[in-house]
A = this chain, B = another copy of it.
Amino acid sequence: MRVIADLCIVPLGVGLSVSKEIAACERVLSEAGLKIRLHAYGTNIEGEWDEVFAAIKRCHEVVHAMGAPRISSSLRFGTRTDRDQTMDEKIRSVEEKLRA
């Protein structure tokens, strides 16, 4: 089962800047071979369900290991059985309607 997800990790107890922890998660997701794209309030992730969620678990483990005693994340995730759809196709589909 393919999934397109959007992950936002909020580490607590590491101060107000969390970009170091977000960058570490980018590396985790990227090294997991997933297609990802960072935006201003999270990261788009595309891949097989088990690989995506294994990488998300690894993100929490890594951010805890970096010194954050508490993490509160939010995730959107979508699956469909009618057809395959990539992140790029989702964006292109909206952009086509915008030009129409």
Contacts and interface: CB of A to CB of B under 8 A. Distances in A.
Q: How large is the interface on A (under 10, 10 to 19, 20 to 34, 35 or more residues)?
A: 35 or more
Interface in A51-100: 53, 57, 60-61, 64, 69-82, 87-88, 90-91, 93-98, 100
A38 to B, nearest CB: 6
A4 B69 contact: no
A13 B15 contact: yes
A70 B16 contact: yes
Contacts of A32: none
15 contacts: A4-B41, A8-B72, A12-B18, A16-B80, A20-B97, A22-B97, A23-B100, A39-B44, A40-B88, A50-B57, A53-B53, A69-B80, A70-B81, A72-B78, A73-B78
Interface of A: 1, 4-6, 8, 10, 12-13, 15-20, 22-24, 26-27, 37-42, 44, 46, 49-50, 53, 57, 60-61, 64, 69-82, 87-88, 90-91, 93-98, 100
